A and B are shown apart, each in its own frame.
Chain A
């Protein structure tokens, strides 16, 4: 698959900020939520949230749709899938997947005990 460098740059730039990653978590867990729903989960100003949403949308990590007067937000998994496709193989993803599962399980246990 041919690379569209400008797209990948936008994706990595959008992901390179903890606030934007948090917004992505919120939208992923609540497909169809509105900008206000995102603002409610943040101490950030509405203008700040809008700015971050714009960058996430430019990278197509978030897709928005107008429904009546509301603008609804959806998480688009395709850009991250393309990063995954580029740097993993069937073999490496199998083992890497097992490694991350072990990490999550152990860390979850530590958190419960800790």
Chain B
């Protein structure tokens, strides 16, 4: 088996634990801290399927399965980018009330070393925690992130075929 690594990103957010929990688990609207994707699931509980899809539902960027779901403290799921042919990683979100706010830790485990997935996870972890901080504290992502989302939207039609939602129905288990 290939070498794997673990990546940890941690940040303190001024807000309530419920607000942060809602941001990472809400469905039916886009998650501004998760690359403007929308969470689709057949019910957030261990064994449930999850998909991160674009707003129009046409493309699916991330697929996985829920391993742990313990509101409002811990959420763990398997994770794979649909555009890379890498093995599944495990992503955990840990929330803890501290110093009048929330300590939020995002941990990626079993990340295959030297893959595109590793590169994306390294940048993605820091990106998600700092954008989540901004969304909870100010109601929106920072300027640079907002600009990038406009770019994402423009580039959406160029997404590879492997990311088409028709390839990733919720009814079909991914693991």
Contact = CB atoms under 8 A, between A and B. Distances in A.
A99 interface: no
Given A60-B11, A76-B10, A78-B9, A1 B133 contact: yes
Given A31-B7, A77-B126, A85-B144, A7 B134 contact: no
B8 A74 contact: yes
Size class of the contact patch on chain B? 20 to 34
Nearest to A73: B8
Contact of A85 (B129, B137, B142): B142
A1 B6 contact: no
Nearest to A81: B126
Contacts of A1: 130, 133-134, 137-138, 142
Interface of B: 5-12, 14, 105, 122, 125-126, 129-130, 133-134, 137-138, 142, 144, 147
Interface of A: 1-2, 4, 7, 31-32, 60, 63, 65, 74-78, 81-82, 85, 90
